[in-house]
Amino acid sequence: MPVQIPDDSDFSSFKDQCLSPDGWVSRYSKGGVTVWCRDEESRSVQKLKMRIVCKDVTAETLYDVLHDTSYRKKWDSNMIDTYDIGRLTANADIGYYSWRCPTPLKNRDFVTMRSWLPLGNDYLIINYSVKHPQHPPKKDYVRAVSLLTGYLIQSNGANCSTLYYLTQVDPRGSLPKWVVNRVSQLVAPKAMRKIYKASLKYPEWKRKHNPSLKPWMFPEQNTLPCINVSELTVQRADSLENIDESGLSEEKQHSDDEET
Protein backbone atom coordinates (compact mmCIF):
# COMPACT_ATOMS: atom_id res chain seq x y z
CA MET A 1 0.00 0.00 0.00
CA PRO A 2 1.51 3.37 -1.01
CA VAL A 3 2.24 5.97 1.65
CA GLN A 4 0.12 9.11 1.66
CA ILE A 5 1.46 12.24 3.30
CA PRO A 6 -1.32 13.66 5.52
CA ASP A 7 -3.21 16.64 4.16
CA ASP A 8 -5.40 19.25 5.87
CA SER A 9 -8.38 16.88 6.03
CA ASP A 10 -6.29 14.27 7.89
CA PHE A 11 -5.22 16.85 10.47
CA SER A 12 -8.80 18.06 10.81
CA SER A 13 -10.05 14.50 11.33
CA PHE A 14 -7.39 13.87 13.98
CA LYS A 15 -8.35 17.07 15.80
CA ASP A 16 -12.01 16.04 15.76
CA GLN A 17 -11.13 12.67 17.32
CA CYS A 18 -9.19 14.41 20.08
CA LEU A 19 -12.01 16.81 20.93
CA SER A 20 -15.07 14.59 20.43
CA PRO A 21 -16.47 12.73 23.47
CA ASP A 22 -18.44 10.29 21.31
CA GLY A 23 -17.58 6.64 21.86
CA TRP A 24 -14.94 7.23 24.52
CA VAL A 25 -15.07 5.77 28.03
CA SER A 26 -13.15 7.45 30.85
CA ARG A 27 -10.72 5.04 32.53
CA TYR A 28 -8.69 7.46 34.64
CA SER A 29 -9.16 11.00 35.94
CA LYS A 30 -6.80 12.25 38.58
CA GLY A 31 -4.38 15.09 39.20
CA GLY A 32 -5.31 16.98 36.05
CA VAL A 33 -4.90 13.99 33.70
CA THR A 34 -7.80 12.21 31.98
CA VAL A 35 -7.46 8.93 30.04
CA TRP A 36 -10.18 7.55 27.76
CA CYS A 37 -10.30 4.17 26.02
CA ARG A 38 -12.18 2.62 23.17
CA ASP A 39 -11.68 -0.76 21.57
CA GLU A 40 -11.20 -0.91 17.84
CA GLU A 41 -11.13 -3.96 15.56
CA SER A 42 -9.77 -6.34 18.18
CA ARG A 43 -8.89 -6.42 21.86
CA SER A 44 -5.17 -6.26 21.10
CA VAL A 45 -5.54 -2.97 19.20
CA GLN A 46 -6.71 -0.50 21.81
CA LYS A 47 -7.28 3.17 21.17
CA LEU A 48 -6.28 5.54 23.98
CA LYS A 49 -6.82 9.27 24.36
CA MET A 50 -5.31 11.47 27.07
CA ARG A 51 -5.56 15.12 28.09
CA ILE A 52 -3.61 17.30 30.47
CA VAL A 53 -3.86 21.05 31.13
CA CYS A 54 -0.38 22.57 31.31
CA LYS A 55 -0.26 25.75 33.38
CA ASP A 56 2.75 28.04 32.89
CA VAL A 57 3.58 26.36 29.58
CA THR A 58 2.85 27.90 26.19
CA ALA A 59 1.52 25.82 23.31
CA GLU A 60 4.67 26.60 21.31
CA THR A 61 6.91 25.27 24.10
CA LEU A 62 4.95 22.00 24.23
CA TYR A 63 5.26 21.74 20.46
CA ASP A 64 9.03 22.24 20.66
CA VAL A 65 9.42 19.64 23.42
CA LEU A 66 7.57 17.00 21.41
CA HIS A 67 9.74 17.68 18.35
CA ASP A 68 13.15 18.04 19.98
CA THR A 69 14.74 14.55 19.89
CA SER A 70 17.85 15.81 21.71
CA TYR A 71 15.73 16.89 24.66
CA ARG A 72 13.55 13.78 24.60
CA LYS A 73 16.47 11.74 25.90
CA LYS A 74 16.33 13.90 29.06
CA TRP A 75 12.76 13.03 30.02
CA ASP A 76 11.46 9.95 28.18
CA SER A 77 12.61 7.09 30.43
CA ASN A 78 10.65 4.53 28.37
CA MET A 79 12.67 5.36 25.28
CA ILE A 80 15.61 3.13 24.39
CA ASP A 81 16.61 4.95 21.21
CA THR A 82 15.25 7.43 18.70
CA TYR A 83 16.65 9.00 15.56
CA ASP A 84 15.53 10.72 12.39
CA ILE A 85 15.98 8.77 9.14
CA GLY A 86 15.13 11.33 6.48
CA ARG A 87 12.72 14.02 5.34
CA LEU A 88 9.85 13.80 2.89
CA THR A 89 8.63 17.41 2.80
CA ALA A 90 9.04 20.60 4.82
CA ASN A 91 6.64 19.17 7.43
CA ALA A 92 7.02 15.38 7.15
CA ASP A 93 9.85 13.00 8.01
CA ILE A 94 10.66 9.36 8.78
CA GLY A 95 11.99 8.31 12.17
CA TYR A 96 12.82 5.37 14.40
CA TYR A 97 11.75 4.88 18.02
CA SER A 98 12.30 1.95 20.40
CA TRP A 99 10.34 1.57 23.61
CA ARG A 100 11.09 -0.26 26.86
CA CYS A 101 8.11 -2.45 27.71
CA PRO A 102 7.19 -3.58 31.24
CA THR A 103 9.16 -6.64 32.35
CA PRO A 104 8.94 -9.48 31.22
CA LEU A 105 7.55 -8.37 27.83
CA LYS A 106 9.84 -7.97 24.83
CA ASN A 107 10.67 -4.39 23.88
CA ARG A 108 8.94 -2.81 20.88
CA ASP A 109 10.15 -0.53 18.12
CA PHE A 110 8.61 1.52 15.34
CA VAL A 111 9.48 3.15 12.03
CA THR A 112 6.98 5.93 11.42
CA MET A 113 6.16 8.77 9.10
CA ARG A 114 5.58 11.89 11.17
CA SER A 115 3.84 15.00 9.92
CA TRP A 116 3.12 18.26 11.70
CA LEU A 117 1.08 21.41 11.23
CA PRO A 118 0.80 24.68 13.20
CA LEU A 119 -2.78 25.86 12.69
CA GLY A 120 -3.74 29.16 14.30
CA ASN A 121 -3.59 28.61 18.05
CA ASP A 122 -3.33 24.84 17.55
CA TYR A 123 -0.34 22.62 16.87
CA LEU A 124 -0.74 19.08 15.54
CA ILE A 125 1.71 16.18 15.16
CA ILE A 126 0.58 12.81 13.77
CA ASN A 127 2.33 9.62 12.72
CA TYR A 128 1.72 6.14 11.40
CA SER A 129 3.99 3.19 10.71
CA VAL A 130 5.76 2.72 7.39
CA LYS A 131 8.23 0.25 5.91
CA HIS A 132 11.66 1.59 4.94
CA PRO A 133 13.91 -0.83 3.02
CA GLN A 134 17.00 0.11 5.04
CA HIS A 135 15.31 -0.22 8.44
CA PRO A 136 13.80 -3.72 8.69
CA PRO A 137 12.69 -5.32 11.98
CA LYS A 138 15.52 -5.87 14.47
CA LYS A 139 16.39 -9.16 16.14
CA ASP A 140 15.90 -8.09 19.77
CA TYR A 141 12.66 -6.13 19.27
CA VAL A 142 9.08 -6.76 18.27
CA ARG A 143 8.25 -4.36 15.43
CA ALA A 144 4.96 -2.79 16.49
CA VAL A 145 2.59 -0.80 14.27
CA SER A 146 1.26 2.69 14.88
CA LEU A 147 -2.09 2.82 13.10
CA LEU A 148 -2.49 6.44 14.19
CA THR A 149 -0.69 8.32 16.93
CA GLY A 150 -0.38 12.02 17.56
CA TYR A 151 -0.70 15.16 19.63
CA LEU A 152 -3.03 18.13 19.58
CA ILE A 153 -1.82 21.19 21.48
CA GLN A 154 -4.24 24.04 22.09
CA SER A 155 -3.39 27.45 23.50
CA ASN A 156 -5.42 28.56 26.52
CA GLY A 157 -4.06 32.09 26.66
CA ALA A 158 -0.66 33.69 27.02
CA ASN A 159 0.92 31.07 29.28
CA CYS A 160 -1.32 28.01 29.45
CA SER A 161 -2.09 25.15 27.11
CA THR A 162 -3.91 21.84 26.80
CA LEU A 163 -2.23 18.72 25.44
CA TYR A 164 -4.15 15.83 23.90
CA TYR A 165 -2.43 12.56 23.04
CA LEU A 166 -4.24 9.96 20.94
CA THR A 167 -2.74 6.60 20.05
CA GLN A 168 -3.80 3.38 18.38
CA VAL A 169 -0.97 0.86 18.28
CA ASP A 170 -0.89 -2.79 17.32
CA PRO A 171 1.73 -4.28 19.68
CA ARG A 172 2.01 -7.40 17.49
CA GLY A 173 1.22 -9.81 20.24
CA SER A 174 -1.43 -11.04 22.64
CA LEU A 175 -0.84 -9.00 25.78
CA PRO A 176 -1.84 -9.98 29.32
CA LYS A 177 -4.76 -8.06 30.78
CA TRP A 178 -2.51 -6.57 33.47
CA VAL A 179 -0.51 -4.80 30.73
CA VAL A 180 -3.61 -3.20 29.22
CA ASN A 181 -4.77 -2.06 32.67
CA ARG A 182 -1.29 -0.82 33.59
CA VAL A 183 -1.05 1.31 30.45
CA SER A 184 -4.33 3.15 31.07
CA GLN A 185 -3.96 3.47 34.85
CA LEU A 186 -0.25 4.17 35.28
CA VAL A 187 1.94 4.36 32.18
CA ALA A 188 -0.24 6.80 30.22
CA PRO A 189 -0.91 9.30 33.05
CA LYS A 190 2.76 9.19 34.07
CA ALA A 191 3.84 9.91 30.49
CA MET A 192 1.56 12.97 30.28
CA ARG A 193 2.91 14.35 33.56
CA LYS A 194 6.47 13.78 32.35
CA ILE A 195 5.80 15.82 29.21
CA TYR A 196 4.34 18.62 31.34
CA LYS A 197 7.31 18.65 33.75
CA ALA A 198 9.76 18.49 30.85
CA SER A 199 8.03 21.46 29.21
CA LEU A 200 8.43 23.58 32.34
CA LYS A 201 12.20 23.02 32.19
CA TYR A 202 12.63 23.21 28.42
CA PRO A 203 13.06 26.99 27.89
CA GLU A 204 16.05 27.09 30.25
CA TRP A 205 17.58 23.95 28.70
CA LYS A 206 17.07 25.21 25.16
CA ARG A 207 18.81 28.51 25.91
CA LYS A 208 22.00 26.48 26.51
CA HIS A 209 21.58 24.01 23.63
CA ASN A 210 21.40 25.51 20.13
CA PRO A 211 18.60 27.96 21.00
CA SER A 212 18.00 29.01 17.40
CA LEU A 213 17.92 25.45 16.00
CA LYS A 214 14.31 24.41 15.41
CA PRO A 215 14.07 22.64 12.04
CA TRP A 216 10.43 21.75 12.74
CA MET A 217 9.72 25.50 12.63
CA PHE A 218 12.40 26.52 10.13
CA PRO A 219 12.66 23.91 7.33
CA GLU A 220 15.80 25.54 5.92
CA GLN A 221 17.64 24.24 9.02
CA ASN A 222 16.77 20.62 8.20
CA THR A 223 19.88 18.69 7.13
CA LEU A 224 18.29 15.23 6.93
CA PRO A 225 18.69 13.34 3.64
CA CYS A 226 15.68 13.56 1.34
CA ILE A 227 13.53 10.46 0.94
CA ASN A 228 11.15 9.89 -1.94
CA VAL A 229 7.74 8.74 -0.74
CA SER A 230 7.86 6.02 -3.43
CA GLU A 231 10.58 4.28 -1.37
CA LEU A 232 8.08 3.68 1.42
CA THR A 233 5.05 1.45 1.92
CA VAL A 234 2.50 1.37 4.72
CA GLN A 235 3.53 -1.11 7.41
CA ARG A 236 0.85 -3.79 7.48
CA ALA A 237 0.55 -5.53 10.83
CA ASP A 238 -0.17 -8.94 9.31
CA SER A 239 3.24 -8.98 7.60
CA LEU A 240 5.07 -8.86 10.94
CA GLU A 241 5.79 -11.47 13.61
CA ASN A 242 2.97 -11.89 16.10
CA ILE A 243 3.93 -13.25 19.54
CA ASP A 244 1.80 -14.55 22.40
CA GLU A 245 2.72 -12.94 25.71
CA SER A 246 -0.73 -13.28 27.26
CA GLY A 247 0.47 -15.82 29.84
CA LEU A 248 3.29 -13.69 31.24
CA SER A 249 2.95 -12.57 34.84
CA GLU A 250 3.67 -9.07 36.11
CA GLU A 251 7.06 -8.62 37.72
CA LYS A 252 7.98 -5.97 40.26
CA GLN A 253 8.93 -2.82 38.40
CA HIS A 254 11.77 -0.40 39.01
CA SER A 255 10.90 2.64 41.07
CA ASP A 256 10.87 4.81 37.94
CA ASP A 257 7.62 3.12 36.92
CA GLU A 258 5.86 4.15 40.10
CA GLU A 259 3.46 7.06 39.79
CA THR A 260 4.88 10.41 40.77
Residue 44's pLDDT is 57
Helix, strand, or coil (residue 101): coil
Query: For 10-30, what is each residue's pLDDT tens digit?
Result: 999 999 999 999 999 998 999
Residue 201's pLDDT is 97
What number of residues does the chain have?
A: 260
**Residue 253: pLDDT band with limits 50, 70, 90:** very low
Query: For 99-154, what is each residue's pLDDT tens digit?
Result: 998 778 889 999 999 999 998 889 999 999 999 999 999 988 999 999 999 999 99
Question: In whole numbers, what is the pLDDT of the chain averaged over residues?
Answer: 88
For residues 10 and 100, what is the distance between their CA atoms, to the nearest angstrom?
30
Task: Report whether 223 contacts 210 (CB < 8 A).
Answer: no
For residues 110 and 79, what is the distance between their CA atoms, to the nearest angstrom?
11
* Cα four-point dihedral sign 210, 215, 220, 221: positive
**Residue 196: pLDDT band with limits 50, 70, 90:** very high
**Residue 182: pLDDT band with limits 50, 70, 90:** low
Residue 254's pLDDT is 46
Give the C-alpha distances (Å, rounded to integers) separating 150 from 48, 117, 153: 11, 11, 10
> What whole-number percentage of the chain has pLDDT above 90?
67
The residue-averaged pLDDT of 194-213 equals: 97
> What whole-number percentage of the chain has pLDDT above 70?
85
Tell me the range of 99-103, 211-215, 241-245 where mean pLDDT is highest. Answer: 211-215
Query: For 44-59, what is each residue's pLDDT tens digit?
Result: 577 899 999 999 999 9
Helix, strand, or coil (residue 200): helix
Residue 243's pLDDT is 64
Give start and end residues of each alpha helix (H) in 171-216. 177-182, 188-207
Res. 239: pLDDT tops 80:
no
Residue 38's pLDDT is 84
Q: Could you say which architecture CATH assigns to the domain 8-38+45-234?
A: 2-Layer Sandwich (3.30)
Residue 43's pLDDT is 57
